[in-house]
Amino acid sequence: MNTLLPTTIVGSLPKPSWLSEPEKLWSPWKLHDGELREGKLDAQTLAVHDQSRAGLDIISDGEQTRQHFVTTFIEHLGGVDFDRRETVRIRDRYDASVPTVVGPVSREESVFAEDAKRLRADTDRPIKWALPGPMTMIDTLYDDHYRSREQLAWEFATILNQEAKDLEAAGVDIIQIDEPAFNVFFDELKDWGVAALERATEGLNCKTAVHICYGYGIKANTDWKATLGAEWRQYEESFPLLQQSSIDIVSLESHNSRVPVEVIELLRGKTVMLGAIDVAGDAIETPEEVAATLRSALPFVDEDKLYASGNCGMAPLARGVARQKMVALAEGAGLLRRELS
């Protein structure tokens, strides 16, 4: 990016109410078959419009074609039985009924390449596409086939790499892997987590990013955050490893969080995508607040390596709130950009 402090959303945006019920995760689709396909892509075009009008520099699909950032990808893979469900604990935080891995996992065809081509056609700005990370994927499944979290993660990493190459061919400029599980499973992170992430992004010529956060602004996550104490130092586990990795960009949560901003120093040399928008509340940040959050990071990251973003996806928010937060993000980054130049 030639622009200083380029702005982008992390991934998801709320969907239009004609497509699925808003302010709800896993909200069922309201359309079916051909109408659903057309509706999803129309919603994606609207999401591009909203981001462009807000003044964001890097455009995402807003995850308008997915019901959920992890589940939808897995639904397109072979080897997973969605009718056979078991209850497991997600990220050590809440119980959920999840599908079962019953055989070798496989990808018959690209899951998102057609959606990405539409995104490419809808904007001239750089585009970013998010995929769920291997560790986050295995954490939403019951495995009755490999019976090894590491082996299943490795299989998913191989599949993700195929998908990432299709997305790159569709014109995606930044491929982002979402790994909120990196803030929870520190032993696995060190044993194979970062290696699986590098496997998923191996051989790509486009930029690669990893997004690690404390989750959507839903109750299970805000309750968990309340137990983490005065300072959230979870990033100290992953950042030194990521600093040594092949990943170009690291996306983290910052505004209204208890993450000590100096942890960013552990990433020195990498591009940092800083969360300057809170996604756990409806209050709209002022541009000055956004600029202040971004400014606080400058002692720890070179200014040409700082991107401005949200803390996480905005799917659970009201549409109007998400729009205003995107405007605040663009205006806040603009304030600091003028100050620096």
First to last CA, the chain: 16
Per DSSP, the three-state class of 88 is strand
Of 69 and 142, CB closest to Zn ion: 69
Provide the minimum distance between the beta carbon of 10 and Zn ion in the complex, in angstroms, as a whole number: 6
User: Cα separation of 8 and 43, whole Å?
Assistant: 18
Of 100 and 254, CB closest to Zn ion: 254
User: Cα separation of 146 and 105, whole Å?
Assistant: 10
* Angle at 210 (CA atoms; ends 150, 105), nearest 5 degrees: 35
Binding site for Zn ion (CB under 5 A): 213, 312
Provide the minimum distance between the beta carbon of 261 and Zn ion in the complex, in angstroms, as a whole number: 18
What DSSP state is assigned to residue 192?
A: I
Provide the minimum distance between the beta carbon of 84 and Zn ion in the complex, in angstroms, as a whole number: 28
Tokens of 145: 């086939």
Provide the minimum distance between the beta carbon of 78 and Zn ion in the complex, in angstroms, as a whole number: 27
Is 307 within 8 Å of 7 (Cβ atoms)?
A: yes
Provide the minimum distance between the beta carbon of 252 and Zn ion in the complex, in angstroms, as a whole number: 9
Of 213 and 330, CB closest to Zn ion: 213
Of 36 and 96, CB closest to Zn ion: 96
Of 139 and 143, CB closest to Zn ion: 139
Q: Which secondary structure element, helix H or strand E, spans residue 160, and what is its range?
A: helix 149-169
Is 116 within 8 Å of 61 (Cβ atoms)?
A: yes
